[in-house]
Amino acid sequence: MAETLLVQPDTKFLREVIGSGGADLKKCYQCATCSVVCTLSTDEAPFPRRQMLAAQWGLKDRVLSDPAIWLCHNCGDCTTHCPRGARPGDVFGALRREAIKYFTWPRFLGRWVNNPQMLPLLVLVPLLLFGALWAWGPEADSVYPGRMEFANQFPIPVLEALFFSLSGFVLLSFAIGMTRFVRALRAGGATAPILANLPGTLAEIATHRRFADCGAERTRYWGHLLTLWGFVGLAAVGTIVGLGHMAGLVHTPLAATSPLKIFANLAAAGSLIGVAILVADRAGDPLKRTRSTYFDWFFLIVLAGVIVTGFASQFLRQGQVPGMYLVYYVHLVLIFLLLGYAPYSKLAHFCYRTVAMAAVRERREAIMLENRSKGS
């Protein structure tokens, strides 16, 4: 007697996927064209056809615990060749957004950050925070008499305490989210030693090797690579300077000839070029291979704003222009938006994609070895 399978669709999840960018999900009629044309899909573990079916049925737990939704780099090949216009790449993008909202902690922030109606409230928090710090900070020229320096209005020890506390909260949020995600992967059948596979996975991500395999998006490859490494460079310098200043080893403001400042400026320039490439690609895509959503634009615009206001603050300070304090205030607000909401924004892709790739890395290598042994 055949086994009976009871399917209980999560209709709320289905509506959220459709509203999150997967509006054409129901057009899919399972022809598997998408799995055939995808250069990243394999014969042993093809995607996105199977995940499209699970999403159509509203099988939330099954589809969100499937690492395949993170193996897609959204090059748009499947969307271009889909005979029904189901846009599998966009559906996968929506599934990744729903996964972040589902696994992250606290979940209400995941919902808020991905809801454009909540943007005024999210911005209001750092506006009030840094506005109060500016209003009740030290008197002008009290720290650096005779010169306009940011520390005269925004005391460095307070900023360090605030941002390191915020970083601690972000790390905690990521840790809880990754723990939930790994448990879901295990429940879904992933048994690979994720920690052991992380070094090789990080090497893949560092070079964007899998992204380079995508057939049609060479421009986006460079955009993503420059954005990633520029951001990593800025984060590294910020951490080094912050810890160094707290330990009394680094004194700010850094001189223009400081290796740390030079490296930071190069990293910022590289990241800004990467963002410009991605924005131009999304804005000028005549075929609309990949639709851009609020989720995409939030990260790109905030990151670009952080870099532009950072450069502007630096140049205005060197010229001792009074407006430098206002620009720096905006810069601090944007840093808060970028860092504080990282676990709930597209920046979280780095962690989820890394874990998902590590979860299947061993299986893929085993399949490759098996195929080689059969061939010999």
Query: Model confidence at 374, in pLDDT bands (50, 70, 90)?
Result: very low
Residue 138 clears pLDDT 70, i.e. is over it: no
Distances (CA, A) of 320 to 96, 324, 368: 45, 8, 61
End residue of a domain, out of 47, 77, 103:
103
Distances (CA, A) of 254 to 241, 293, 318, 350, 372: 9, 38, 12, 30, 55
pTM (2 d.p.): 0.89
Question: CB within 8 A of 320, min separation 6: which ones?
Answer: 147, 148
Tell me what pLDDT residue 143 has. Answer: 62
Q: Which residue has the higher pLDDT, 143 or 28?
A: 28
Domain count of the fold of the chain: 2
- Give a yes or no: residue 338 inside a domain: yes
Helix (H/G/I), strand (E/B), else coil: 142: coil
Residue range 302-330: average pLDDT?
95
Tell me what pLDDT residue 210 has. Answer: 76
Chain centroid to CA 37? 26
Residue range 267-282: average pLDDT?
92
- Give a yes or no: residue 54 inside a domain: yes
- DSSP states of 230-275: HHHHHHHHHHHHHHHHHTTS--SSPPTT-HHHHHHHHHHHHHHHHH
Here the tokens at position 312 are 């502007």
Query: Does 49 lie in the same domain as 92?
Result: yes
Residue 226 clears pLDDT 90, i.e. is over it: yes
Query: Model confidence at 369, in pLDDT bands (50, 70, 90)?
Result: very low
Question: How large a percentage of the chain has pLDDT more than 70?
Answer: 88
Query: Does 52 lie in the same domain as 116?
Result: no
Query: Does 41 lie in the same domain as 144?
Result: no
- Give a yes or no: residue 1 inside a domain: no
Query: Model confidence at 182, in pLDDT bands (50, 70, 90)?
Result: very high
Query: Does 113 lie in the same domain as 94?
Result: no
Query: Does 340 lie in the same domain as 216?
Result: yes
**Could you read off the pLDDT of 5-42 as tens digits, one per residue?**
667 788 899 899 988 888 888 899 999 999 998 888 87
Averaged pLDDT of the chain: 87
End residue of a domain, out of 74, 103, 132:
103
- Give a yes or no: residue 4 inside a domain: no
Tell me what pLDDT residue 194 has. Answer: 87
Query: Does 295 lie in the same domain as 342?
Result: yes
Query: Does 158 lie in the same domain as 239?
Result: yes
* 61 in Cβ contact with 184 (< 8 Å): yes
Query: Does 303 lie in the same domain as 194?
Result: yes
Residue range 101-130: average pLDDT?
96
Q: Which residue has the higher pLDDT, 364 or 9?
A: 9
Q: Which residue has the higher pLDDT, 348 or 138?
A: 348
Alpha helices in 255-348 (DSSP H): 259-283, 294-318, 324-340
* 90 in Cβ contact with 21 (< 8 Å): yes
Here the tokens at position 228 are 């990633």
Residue 82 clears pLDDT 70, i.e. is over it: yes
Query: Does 128 lie in the same domain as 61?
Result: no
Domain that holds residue 24: 11-103
Q: What span, in angstroms and rounded, lies between the C-alpha atoms of 225 and 202?
A: 13
* Least confidently predicted of 220-224, 239-243, 274-278: 220-224
Query: Does 316 lie in the same domain as 230?
Result: yes
Tell me what pLDDT residue 151 has. Answer: 84
- Give a yes or no: residue 370 inside a domain: no
Residue 293 clears pLDDT 90, i.e. is over it: no
Question: CB within 8 A of 192, min separation 6: which ones?
Answer: 358, 359, 360, 361, 362, 363
Residue range 46-50: average pLDDT?
89
Residue 364 clears pLDDT 80, i.e. is over it: no
- Give a yes or no: residue 308 inside a domain: yes
Q: Which residue has the higher pLDDT, 218 or 327?
A: 327
Q: What span, in angstroms and rounded, lies between the C-alpha atoms of 316 and 324?
A: 5
Query: Does 328 lie in the same domain as 290?
Result: yes
Residue 1 clears pLDDT 80, i.e. is over it: no
- Give a yes or no: residue 371 inside a domain: no
End residue of a domain, out of 75, 103, 131:
103
**Could you read off the pLDDT of 90-111 as tens digits, one per residue?**
999 999 999 999 999 999 999 9
Tell me what pLDDT residue 137 has. Answer: 72
User: Does 48 sit behind a cis peptide bond, omega within 30 degrees of 0 on the bond before it?
Assistant: yes
Q: Give the angle subtended at the CA of 139 by the CAs of 308 and 129, to the nearest 5°.
A: 50
- Give a yes or no: residue 303 inside a domain: yes
Query: Does 210 lie in the same domain as 76?
Result: no
